[in-house]
């Protein structure tokens, strides 16, 4: 029996933060990074295409501040919901309130997303985890994308980079999104973040002594949610398009990945 008999809703975060224009969108001459083409296909369409090839995903929603920006572009049957101006975490909370769980969350700049990466997260995450976070280890990334520069989080027992792919499996997981919202709100005030997460945890992290187990335990104490990191087998899963240099890398890597069926359907 499927672990998700009712199916999964996938939420794609495609909005832009208020303030300065996104440098990738600016360099590409588009209003939103989600519209920038990779391999001739807008990133948002590439992500939608990947999710449409995951059997467990039965509904897809795109979250953006102005639905008219993408209404002409996306296929029929895709929901468009307004992004929250407070930031991505608030949009995720709104998505959870609207669709419930399980909710798979990714971003429009996850342009290389593959169906098998999503299925790996779904199959390898523990059924009792409230929230599963896809990551790629430093070793895997250096094996598969040796010429990339990624930002790594270094725990005592794991060095990894995020893959912009999250499975909010249960309602309790919303408490982690709420914690994320508080961290996001205070990102310019490190002392407030330290007080929120706990100075002992931050000190252990700075000293390289923070383990996955200790991190999980701290998040559980703060939220009552069981969280796990799920390493994926393909290091390319950690490549998103955050800066102009990433566009070049994504174009190079996209040529070796399966073609987007949405592009083939449109004759591109």
Contact 209, 156 (CB under 8 A): yes
Q: What is the pLDDT of residue 205?
A: 74
Q: What is the pLDDT of residue 188?
A: 55
pLDDT category at 89 given cuts 50, 70, 90 is very high
- Per DSSP, 141 falls in state H
Q: What is the pLDDT of residue 187?
A: 57
Task: Report whether pLDDT(243) > 90.
Answer: no
Give the distance, in angstroms, between the CA of residue 193 and the centroid of all CA atoms in the same chain.
22
* Strand, coil or helix: 134: strand
pLDDT category at 163 given cuts 50, 70, 90 is very high
Task: Report whether pLDDT(223) > 70.
Answer: yes
Contact 91, 30 (CB under 8 A): no
Category of 77 on φ-ψ map: left (φ > 0), alpha (ψ -120 to 50) or beta: left
Q: What is the pLDDT of residue 85?
A: 86
Burial readout 35-48 (b: 16 or more C-beta within 10 A, e: otherwise): bbbbbebbbbbbbb
The DSSP-derived string for 1-64 is --S-TT-EEEEEE----SSSPPHHHHHHT-SSGGG-EETTEEHHHHHHHHHHT-TTEEEEEEEE
Task: Report whether pLDDT(133) > 80.
Answer: yes
**Average pLDDT, integer, range 226-251:** 94
Contact 80, 70 (CB under 8 A): yes
- Which of the residue ranges 17-31, 59-73, 193-207 would you say has the lowest mean pLDDT? 193-207
Assess if CATH 3.90.550.10 describes domain 8-255.
yes
**Average pLDDT, integer, range 226-238:** 97
Q: What is the pLDDT of residue 1?
A: 37
pLDDT category at 19 given cuts 50, 70, 90 is low
Task: Report whether pLDDT(10) > 90.
Answer: yes
Q: Where are the domains of the chain?
A: 8-255
pLDDT category at 145 given cuts 50, 70, 90 is very high
């Amino acid at each position: 029996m499927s672990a998700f008999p009712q199916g999964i809703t996938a939420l794609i975060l495609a909005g832009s933060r208020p303030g300065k224009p996104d440098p990738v969108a600016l360099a590409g001459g588009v209003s939103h990074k989600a519209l920038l083409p990779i391999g001739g296909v807008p990133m948002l369409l590439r992500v939608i295409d990947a999710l449409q090839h995951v059997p467990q995903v039965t509904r897809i929603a795109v979250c953006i501040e102005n639905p008219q920006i993408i209404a002409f572009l996306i296929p029929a049957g895709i929901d468009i919901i307004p992004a929250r101006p407070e930031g991505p975490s608030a949009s995720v909370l709104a998505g959870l309130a609207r669709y419930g769980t399980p909710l798979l969350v990714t971003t429009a700049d996850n342009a290389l997303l593959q169906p098998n990466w999503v299925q790996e997260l779904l199959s390898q995450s523990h059924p009792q985890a409230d929230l599963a976070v896809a990551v790629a280890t430093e070793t895997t990334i250096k094996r598969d994308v040796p010429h990339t520069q990624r930002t790594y989080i270094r725990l005592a027992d794991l060095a990894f980079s995020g893959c912009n792919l999250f499975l909010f499996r249960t309602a309790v997981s919303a408490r982690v999104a709420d914690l994320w919202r508080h961290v996001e709100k205070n990102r310019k005030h490190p002392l407030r973040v330290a007080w929120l997460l706990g100075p002992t945890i931050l000190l252990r992290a700075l000293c390289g002594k923070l383990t996955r187990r200790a991190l999980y335990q701290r998040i559980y104490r703060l939220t009552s949610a069981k969280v796990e990191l799920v390493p994926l087998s393909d290091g390319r899963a950690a490549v998103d398009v955050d800066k102009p240099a990433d566009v070049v890398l994504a174009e190079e890597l996209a040529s070796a990945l399966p073609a987007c069926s949405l592009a083939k359907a449109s004759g591109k």
